[in-house]
A and B are shown apart, each in its own frame.
Chain A
């Protein structure tokens, strides 16, 4: 009874948050609603006894992905109002198509369609241990492939973002360490009342780095 109550609570909040992700005007709000949706999804996982996945969801999606999103959204200067112009235009047809799809899916899933897959009975071993038992044995293959995919993601991200352009200033730590006081600081005797123009300054070439 109490489980059902929480299920509907989490589910309702998640759906509402999901809706708000799409419709809210401020993109920062959208990301925050996304985080809310993730949290509720994690709650749902807890309810069915999949606490490991629930925690993964919180750690990875809320902790990493959504926060990254937040940074990106806040850093990029995107005119969201302009992007929304199309939203109104396509809303009716989008609603129709989406509505049809929802109707069909609901109709299809009504009843005991998913008879084939049954949840394994709760056992004494914990989620984490159970995963650990199969991850490196039965699903070794998939695990390794997942590793390759991550490698690809890494290489891809590096090769797309790392670029060498002339005129870009970079920090070279070794040079910073090697730097001596004589190279950069010049003691100038400034007489009282002298105009700033008469004071010799470091020539521009020396100022680099």
Chain B
């Protein structure tokens, strides 16, 4: 009979700690009342908790990483991705800390839900079992559905939340259905067990179908085409702070899960899921690059941009090699910081206190806010993949892995789509630098946005200096994922 041991607690200590903080915060929020002051207090405690969790994650022992009978794995891959997720969520929470902020967001529940979603993301990253996978996905998704609809007096926000919820439920259904088929064939829910069960034998079609369903369900979470359609509506309709969160953290968790599932559980039939991922990757790159061009709202544009980014990341995933995993990890590293930095600026797009998120609102930013314009310029250049910024290295390693794996057409499509995609990033720069405006944006820049923007800029600009260290870390993590997973 299975029995609990300390060995099960230690690998999951960060998650347990964070969940404990969340539970404490439920009480703090309940007794603190509904005032913005109380909300900020909750947020601060949550951020403190995230920092401690970060320390716990970094200090985790990647060798003694399995817990709960193999459902949970805190290997070096998990550590790497969790650091990204924690940092991203920390930044997103930090930026909600403004005194004149959004009254809908300035509720204690916001931070609480984000914290619980964060626990869900960490569980996703560590999931090593079909059931743990589903639990992680749901724990991550539910709070996000709620925060998307958090602005209760806005029709668009409610609509965004509802759409996200309904389609998310559909994707969960696909995920579950696929998992049941996989379980039916493999006879176990354990990733390692599945890998063992399928290695060296001809897989029945129904297993492949189950795998396709599972990947499709997860593709919804990373908003890969054709499961992307919620993204623009939800990004646009949600409160901007929530959009920032969406753009930064959950995708990292979902990509990690996809990596773990495809390389861990389905590692031996890589040539089968490769096809799915290539299709998803190409679709996302094309939709992301082409869809963004006609957009007028910057949040919507960022949604398409994120779809495109996921397409590039999936290209690395599709490579099916250690280099591919490394490429994806480098890509997601850059992605987190680009998202944080860009949204640190988008959150400042206010005119007379009201959000002004049309792309044309950026006109003449270089005159009114030269430093902000410069920051956004760097972010856009990085997203367009211009060396030596972070976005370039991400694309470089991803496409390199794809080419090495013989997926030259995929890499070519990727490069072409990057070129088309560069158009709308550069359009923003054009608006900022070559157009004039008579109604400048508000000039107040809260400290949190300064810090997030500064830190992101530093990471993106100095990416080339630290690329060797990052590569080494990502490489060892990738090896851990494939060999041990």
Contact = CB atoms under 8 A, between A and B. Distances in A.
Contacts of B123: 145
A105 B185 contact: no
B107 to A, nearest CB: 7
A149 B116 CA distance: 9
Contacts of A153: 142
A22 to B, nearest CB: 15
A102 B136 CA distance: 29
A121 interface: no
Interface stretch (B64-72, B220-228, B359-367): B64-72
Which residue of A107, A109, A151, A156 has the most chain B CB atoms within 10 A of its CB atom? Answer: A156
A71 interface: no
Interface stretch (A25-33, A83-91, A133-141, A178-186): A133-141
A159 interface: yes
Contacts of B109: 155-156, 158-159
Contacts of B2: 134, 137-138
B480 interface: no
* Chain B interface extent, by class: 35 or more
B142 A149 contact: yes
Contact of B184 (A117, A141, A149): A117
Interface in B105-131: 107, 109, 112-113, 116-117, 119-120, 123, 131
Nearest to A134: B2
B135 A145 contact: yes
Q: What does DSSP make chain A's interface, helix, strand, loop or mixed?
A: helix
A138 B68 CA distance: 7
Interface in B300-350: none
Given A140-B68, A149-B138, A163 B185 contact: no
Interface string A156-191: 101110011000000000000000000000000000
A86 B136 CA distance: 36
B212 to A, nearest CB: 10
Contacts, number: 111
Given A116-B184, A137-B2, A156 B132 contact: no
B209 A140 contact: no
A160 B149 contact: yes
Nearest to B108: A159
A152 B143 contact: yes
A64 interface: no
A114 interface: yes
Given A155-B112, A159-B107, A141 B142 contact: no
Contacts of B23: 151
A149 B134 CA distance: 11
A156 B138 CA distance: 13
Contacts of B292: none
A108 B116 contact: no
Contact of A159 (B3, B113, B185): B113
Contacts of B3: 137
Given A108-B204, A116-B186, A140 B150 contact: no
A104 B71 contact: no
A112 B136 CA distance: 31
B446 interface: no
A156 B143 contact: yes
Interface string A94-130: 0000000000110111010111111000000000000
Given A113-B184, A137-B4, A163-B152, A148 B119 contact: yes
Contacts of B142: 149, 152-153, 156
Given A108-B206, A159-B146, A160-B149, A145 B113 contact: no
Given A140-B4, A156-B113, A108 B149 contact: no
Given A116-B187, A151-B116, A152-B116, A146 B204 contact: no
A138 B145 contact: no
B389 to A, nearest CB: 37
A109 to B, nearest CB: 5
B146 A145 contact: no
A133 B184 CA distance: 23
7 tightest A-B contacts by CB? A116-B187, A156-B146, A159-B109, A114-B184, A108-B206, A141-B68, A108-B205
9 contacts: A116-B183, A137-B3, A142-B71, A145-B135, A148-B19, A148-B22, A148-B116, A155-B109, A155-B113
Given A116-B197, A145-B139, 14 more contacts: A104-B209, A108-B204, A113-B206, A114-B184, A115-B187, A118-B187, A134-B2, A139-B131, A140-B4, A141-B132, A145-B123, A151-B26, A155-B26, A155-B143
Interface of A: 104-105, 107-109, 111, 113-118, 133-134, 137-142, 144-146, 148-149, 151-153, 155-156, 158-160, 163-164
